[in-house]
Structure 1
């Protein structure tokens, strides 16, 4: 689906828990400074869910591949994003800017949005995940935007779902992969070879996460202790090896296969 080229910017959806009033106020202020007005989407509180019996969670698959469960905060985050995708499909929203409530913006962020909307480049998902080593292994510059920004394709699978643009077609396809979940939402975003979404990044990113503040997802997701026994524990190393192998091969193969298409747009 090709994004609209009209002057109308997409709606801005911000995921926020009702109790996090200070985060909501901060996002209103930050977005107002760059000329954007948000619609807040009430976050799903994973800590209020019965995780073990949740129909949207594939606990056995998660444990086979990772040796531990998704945490309540991760599941709540995933279902919160899915809630917006369902809204986009149901309400026929062609494109949306989706944000978590801990994002900082460059002063020219709105200009980047306007330029993306007017580009002839096809995309389904544009991720603002330029922190860390995302671009260290190379990238293709596909379209130039104002203020020295570029739309790019990378050969990696970066994490982060704090800020991105999504089309309705992209939302519809993501929903197919989110009926029974075993990885966090940002990992689903990064597996473009599986979802089939035309997934691109902005370099440099005009949106960055608040890495210093507390996370509503919770830091327990970084715990490395395994939670498996018996046959699952025996098979886990084999599943884990296959996950890493297929993940590495998938992202590199996709980067290779898109070379012919991209060469018509690449900016040197």
Structure 2
């Protein structure tokens, strides 16, 4: 199986790019750069394929410019992957700390769970994990009942998974990390590892998307968030049902 490693990286993020490529060279990994979309450089009037009302209802806030760019960047990575002859792709963001056996472990995971179309290799949380299989290299793979798990920093995709993501997630209604987890809606066979394969690197606190303070400025308060609470309760039940089908 031929697995490519695709790195989403902004043109202006030179330090991140240099640090990651130095890691890769030391580990013997080949990286393919995907030029990230800079959401801050695009006038909101020019944003495309965004269902703004659904986003506000689903998330209880407005879209942060950086996360609009992040969403478009991941879709661009899928298109880039599908233009190659790779059988699968590991799509990473440029603040990841690489490991030398990343590709081997990814291949072993797809062998262990052949029905998987996307596998999260890094999460902010993995709570109430339901195991489907264990790869020959020891990685437990399954689904989590609790979520969102957070982060799209390192995900593994098959060609079918990338095609489904491009087709069914074209319109932005959630941040990209949440949208990709929602296999019950997108049709992607989404799985996750119990223990992270990679970690965040030294530049993790230097966010290119938005700070906590930035997110707070876009967040609704009071009655404007009531519908969001109902949406999240429904999503939680759907997540549980999805995990049980692993």
TM range (shorter): 0.7 to 0.9
- 1:185 corresponds to which residue? 176
- 1:16 corresponds to which residue? 9
**2:166 and 2:103 mapped to 1: Cα distance?**
28
**2:14 and 2:122 mapped to 1: Cα distance?**
25
C-alpha change, 1:97 and 1:252, in structure 2 (3 Å) is: same
C-alpha change, 1:106 and 1:39, in structure 2 (3 Å) is: closer
Q: How many residues align?
A: 243
| TM-score, length-scaled by structure 1 | 0.81
- 2:116 corresponds to which residue? 123
**Which structure 2 segments of 5+ residues have no match?**
none
C-alpha change, 1:200 and 1:41, in structure 2 (3 Å) is: same
SS at match of 1:206: coil
**1:209 and 1:129 mapped to 2: Cα distance?**
9
For 1:33-90, what per-residue CA distance to the aligned partner results, in whole angstroms no more than 9, with x for missing partners?
3321101111101011122442222222222333421111100011001111222344
The partner residue of 1:27 within 20, 25, 29 is: 20
Counterpart check, 1:155 vs 2:124: no
2:40 touches 2:66 (CA, 8 Å); kept in 1? yes
SS at match of 2:155: strand
**1:117 and 1:93 mapped to 2: Cα distance?**
14
2:123 touches 2:151 (CA, 8 Å); kept in 1? no
- The alignment yields a C-alpha RMSD, in angstroms, of 2.4
Higher-Rg structure is 1
For 1:89-143, what per-residue CA distance to the aligned partner results, in whole angstroms no more than 9, with x for missing partners?
4446431111100001344334313423544632100111244x31x32321412
The partner residue of 1:175 within 161, 166, 183 is: 166
Alignment of 1:98-109 (within 5 A): 98-109=91-102
| TM-score, length-scaled by structure 2 | 0.87
C-alpha change, 1:66 and 1:165, in structure 2 (3 Å) is: closer
- 1:194 corresponds to which residue? 185
**Which structure 1 segments of 5+ residues have no match?**
1-5, 263-268
Deviates more, 1:110-119 or 1:189-198: 110-119
- 2:44 corresponds to which residue? 51
2:146 touches 2:239 (CA, 8 Å); kept in 1? yes
